[in-house]
Amino acid sequence: MAISPFEERYRTEMNSVFDDETKLRKWMVVEVALAKAHAALNHIPKGAPAAIESAAKNVKHGRVIEIESQIHHDLMAMVKALTEQAGDAGKYVHLGATSYDIEDTATALIFIEGIELLEKRLGTLASALKRLALAHKGTVCIGRTHGQHAVPTTYGMKFALYYQELKRNLDRLAGAKSRISVGKMSGAVGTMATFGKDGPAMQNLVMKELGLGEDPVTNQVVQRDRHAEVICAIAITGALLEKIAKEIRNLQRSEMCEISEPFSAKQVGSSTMPQKRNPHKSERVCSLARLLRGNVLTALENIALEHERDLTNSANERAIFGESFICLDYMTIEITKILDGLVFYPENIKRDLELTNGLVMSERIMIFLVESGRLGRQEAHEAVRLLAQEAFAKKRHMKDLVLERKLLTKKEADELFDYSTYTGQAKKIVEDAVKG
């Protein structure tokens, strides 16, 4: 029975990138690259790398687990299992390397694959946001600041905002990928002592074979700022998905119901209240974002290892690396589905625009009074402020009070209280934001 929800409930394609079988195969890919470098430098027979590479295909994960249960060292268990299969070439497996020459270099390969899957997934989300931004660039709705009605905006603006933030998150992931795409072949404390004068050439050959950059200086491990940056970038991206999901949740509240996540015909909202249409998919995204942020703290703690390294990073990385990638992958899939099926309620959007009886057009009235030369800026602000307070207290429409005080003509009032004409450059902002 699965313990982690990421094994079944939130499982995605990302699981196969981080599972133990994949890790084992990546370890052996690095071992083969090491053997090839040794052969190129005439340290071992030319045929040994091919024999080791062939042997790697026959190593069973179960056998590695069996050996580990006896020796209590996972990497060395792989070395022994590979040696068993390699015949005479087995004597050259892992020659001169320390465990984390293999593990950290393999981790870079795994991270690259994981980030590339996230980039693909987030690209699909970007397309959904772009589509919604353009489709709703003219869908006027009330803007809210501090939880209060502000002035009109458009739904297109919301989605364009998310689109631009997603682009920045993709940039962050790309930057983090460039800095995690390095490996090491520098030995127990980073001095390359086991490789002698050929150390730099050895590392260079291995990394070229694997398509990685060389970490210019290490101790026993690749430094954890690189990994922490990736986990941070993942968490920041998760925070955007939470932002989108939270907006949907809030706008789906019964008293607003301007939009809602899709709700299927057979879906159950509550075990006791049959009427409920809970935004549980959006709530799940918000919940998982908290998990991502928690993993950031652990990743940051791992940076300050003692001396040339200690093992305090190892156990938690088995959890936070795969979990963070799988979590964000799942969240991205879910929020994309939500957006693809998002339901709009135009009558409620229009109702909420009028909810405050025209008070949200106070800014526009103030600006008009100034631009028309009738009042100075501060005088106009105070006059409109007092009228707004009166309209609120007496539950009267702001337009009626403005006309009673003869601050505007009927024609001017009709124009100024047209919500659809007070969205400024929203359409252009949206179009420019999603170009390219």
Q: What residue has token string 């590979």? A: 82
Strands 213-214 and 182-183, sheet pairing: parallel
pLDDT in tens, 235-278: 999 999 999 999 999 999 999 999 999 887 677 777 677 777 88
Q: What average pLDDT does this structure show over 321-330? A: 98
- Phi, psi values for residue 239, rounded to 5°: -65, -35
Taking Cα atoms as reference points, which of 300, 316, 303, 116 lies closest to residue 222? 303
Mean of pLDDT values over 160-167? 98
pLDDT digits (tens, 9 = 90+) for 124-159: 999 999 999 999 999 999 999 999 999 999 999 999
Per DSSP, the chain holds a count of helices (H) and strands (E) of: 17, 6
140-145 and 148-154: which strand pairing? antiparallel
3-state secondary structure of 214: strand
User: What is the DSSP code string of 352-386?
Assistant: HHTTTTTGGGHHHHHHHHHHTTSS-HHHHHHHHHH
**pLDDT tens for residues 189-234?**
999 999 999 999 999 999 999 999 999 999 999 999 999 999 999 9
Domain 1-95: which topology? Fumarase C; Chain B, domain 1 (1.10.275)
pTM of the model: 0.95
Alpha helices by DSSP H, listed for 136-154, are: none
Choose, from 4, 16, 178, 270, the residue flagged as catalytic: 270
In the residue annotation, 270 being an active-site residue is answered as yes
Q: Which two tokens stand for residue 102?
A: 């293999």
In this structure, how many other beta carbons lie within 10 angstroms of the beta carbon of residue 354? 13
Specify whether 397 is catalytic.
Answer: no
User: What are the tokens at 80?
Assistant: 């022994």
* Residue of 146, 254, 264, 307 marked catalytic: 146
Rounded to a whole number of angstroms, the CA Rg of the chain reads 30
